[in-house]
Amino acid sequence: METVGFLEFNSIAKGIEAADAVLKAAQVRLIFARASCPGKYYVLFTGEVAAAQASLEAGQAVGEGFVVDCCLIPRVHPQVTAAMQSVAGPAEVGALGVMEFFSVTAAIRAADAAVKAAQVQLAELRLATGIGGKSFALLTGEVAAVAEAVRCGVAAPESGGMTLAHVVIANPRPELWEQLY
């Protein structure tokens, strides 16, 4: 497992400049750098721990007072990066867990904590685009596992009070799953 670094800016211009600094600071791979709702800029990258740490620090230095939040997650769960890059939906569906956040950074941290806590599948990690800057994670699996994953995800100390709401639906109707994807 690799380390993931994430920076959230409230300035698009400073975010673009910081993304360049992230890439120049160390050997990291850019997963995405993009503007999103509501006028924020997000930079997600991965690499070895030391390289990701150096890149995160470089991005923070360039971003100065425009950094809303950031995180560095060593040994990030592979489901987290996969869910951020795809919206294919889960292979199998069970109970549905939803964790909703005011920030993208909180959603990434919570999703990682959730999938590490219980045997669940991270079905989706939606990051701000088209939903007013909010983010949410969808989990599926056995009811008890989903409940535990959601509990651990929203209780992650790094969420910084950014949790808006969370639910576990034991037996969601198939029509609901169809609408989610």
DSSP string, the chain: --EEEEEEES-HHHHHHHHHHHHHHSS-EEEEEEEETTTEEEEEEEE-HHHHHHHHHHHHHHHGGGEEEEEEETT--HHHHHHHH-----SS--EEEEEEESSHHHHHHHHHHHHHHSS-EEEEEEESTTTTT-EEEEEEE-HHHHHHHHHHHHH-GGGTT-EEEEEEESS--HHHHHHH-
pLDDT at 159: 64
Provide the whole-model pTM: 0.81
For the chain, residues classed under CATH 3.30.70.1710 are: 3-73, 78-180
Out of 3.40.50.620, 3.30.70.1710, 3.90.230.10, 3.40.1280.10, select the CATH number for domain 78-180.
Answer: 3.30.70.1710
pLDDT at 9: 94
pLDDT at 177: 78
Q: Which of 160, 147, 172 is nearest to 101 (CA)?
A: 160
Q: What is the mean pLDDT of each successive set of 10 residues along the chain, which is 181 residues long?
A: 88 96 96 87 94 97 93 87 68 86 88 94 84 87 96 81 88 84 67
CATH architecture of 3-73: 2-Layer Sandwich (3.30)
